[in-house]
Amino acid sequence: MPCTVIVGAFWGDEGKGKIISYLALKDNLDFCVRTGSVNAAHTVWIDGKKYALHMVPAAFLNPKCRLMIAAGANVHVAKFLEEVELTKTHSRVVIDRNASIIEDKHSAQDKASAHLKGIGTTGWGVGPAIEERVRRTAKLARDIPELKPYIADTVTEINEGIDAGKKVLLEGTQGFMLSLYFGTYPYVTGRDTSASAIASEAGVGPTRVDDVLIVYKSFVTRVGAGPLPGELTKEEAQKRGWFETAAGTGRDRRSAPFDFELARNTAKINGATQAAVTKLDSIFPACQGKRSFGDLPSEAKAFIKEIENRASVPVTLIGTGPEALDIVDRRK
Ligand code: IMP
Ligand code: MG
């Protein structure tokens, strides 16, 4: 997997952070490149400690991995500096010089807009920050003195890394159904969240991507407004053990059963070559902590096989608990 894109299949919160942290440890990633912005939180659990990362790439727990923020990303300076401190990654985290800056005024504009309130945005101001980039009045990372020690030309570095055979992971944020172009418009985020867009934000041409790993969760969730086919009541979700709150905003996540049709479409449009299925232990508690496919109960194996058949994509990684290493890895 020299260059792999990680893309969320649904409305975000599929557990991408967990899959990335596993790959960071197991595959000895050389580079992890985060796209998107501060609206998305990637959760990483290691040795009982939880990190909800809004800026620093989720592969930080491998001390050899170089961490990058993509040219197409939007950087929240205070949050970035806080997370660099928290993860102790000063010496190996860089920001592309052309990344945009998201400011407090963008958050204020987001929160003041009745239209955006109706969409149920996270309130971080990502939409207004992107508007400003489009108007070509946005500040860039290279203009900010506090970021000086972290500024780099990540696009050249990533492409030279790919030439040299380094293992590069492009960390998508949010989910495909929140894509500005392909999602449930207008109930979407301010950018395209597809696999192609993730590569584009990082400055990687489509022919240089080897694998697209799509991340499914064992059930579907969404926060904010907009359609959610098959939505359950909060009481039903609690009864099934699926009820969640958002890692970033603390809001209730709405939920629905796994959607095979949606899984098929999103695998196709993103060009998925592999899939991960997270939180299998939420729907089959006997899977908790299992690390081999043979140890899963037969209903759980049948569920994974049904996903493979109906979505036409091999399920190579299966999450069985919150810790980074709670994974069934079916790759050769
Ligand atoms: P915005 O991205 O803050 O503008 O919010 C637009 C929509 O995307 C809202 O429905 C948010 O709840 C949703 N959203 C944005 N980021 C995430 C995420 O990381 N996980 C889940 N939903 C998100
Ligand atoms: Mg999240």
Nearest to 186 by CA among 154, 143, 224, 240: 224
Alpha carbons within 13 angstroms on the beta-carbon side of residue 104 total 1
Tokens of 187: 């109930």
Exactly one of 13, 96, 110, 281 is catalytic; which is it? 13
Ligand nearest to C-alpha 53: 2
Asked if residue 87 has pLDDT above 80, the reply is yes
In one letter, which amino acid is 15? G
The percentage of the chain sitting over the pLDDT mark of 70, rounded to a whole number, equals: 100
Ligand nearest to C-alpha 247: 2
Ligand 1: residue whose CA is nearest its atom 2: 189
- 250 pLDDT band, cuts 50/70/90, is confident
pLDDT score of 160: 98
202-242 pLDDT, tens digit per residue, is: 999 999 999 999 999 999 999 999 999 999 999 999 999 99
Closest ligand 1 atom to residue 124 Cα is 3
Q: Are 206 and 271 in contact (CB under 8 A)?
A: no
CA 210 – ligand 1 centroid, Å:
28
Closest ligand 1 atom to residue 173 Cα is 19
Q: Are 255 and 239 in contact (CB under 8 A)?
A: no
Burial level of 137, CB count in 10 A (0-12/13-18/19+)? exposed
Mean pLDDT (the chain, rounded):
97
Tokens of 237: 């979700």
123-143 pLDDT, tens digit per residue, is: 999 999 999 999 999 999 999
Residues 157 and 159: their CA atoms lie apart, in Å, by 6
Pocket of ligand 1 (CB under 6 A): 11-13, 39-40, 119-122, 124, 126-127, 173-174, 178, 187, 189-190, 223-224, 248
Closest ligand 1 atom to residue 225 Cα is 10
* Helices 195-202/154-163 angle, 10° precision: 110
Exactly one of 42, 54, 76, 106 is catalytic; which is it? 42
CA 247 – ligand 2 centroid, Å:
6
The vertex-63 CA angle with 3 and 287, nearest 5°, equals 75
- Cα diameter, the chain: 57
Nearest to 42 by CA among 81, 8, 90, 84: 8
Residue of 223, 244, 245, 253 best suited for mutating to test ligand 1, as the one with most atoms within 8 Å of CB: 223
Q: Is 13 a catalytic residue?
A: yes
CA 322 – ligand 1 centroid, Å:
22
Asked if residue 332 has pLDDT above 90, the reply is no
Residue of 174, 180, 253 best suited for mutating to test ligand 1, as the one with most atoms within 8 Å of CB: 174
CA 286 – ligand 1 centroid, Å:
32
**Of 86-90, 99-103, 245-249, 302-306, minimum mean pLDDT range:** 245-249
pLDDT score of 142: 98
Classified as helix, coil or strand, 295 is: helix
Ligand nearest to C-alpha 115: 1
CA 320 – ligand 1 centroid, Å:
25
Residue of 188, 189, 215, 252 best suited for mutating to test ligand 1, as the one with most atoms within 8 Å of CB: 189
173-207 pLDDT, tens digit per residue, is: 999 999 999 999 999 999 999 999 999 999 999 99
Ligand 1: residue whose CA is nearest its atom 10: 224
CA 253 – ligand 1 centroid, Å:
11
Query: What is the DSSP code string of 82-127?
Result: HHHHHHT-TTTEEEETT-EE--HHHHHHHHH-HHHHHHT--SS-HH
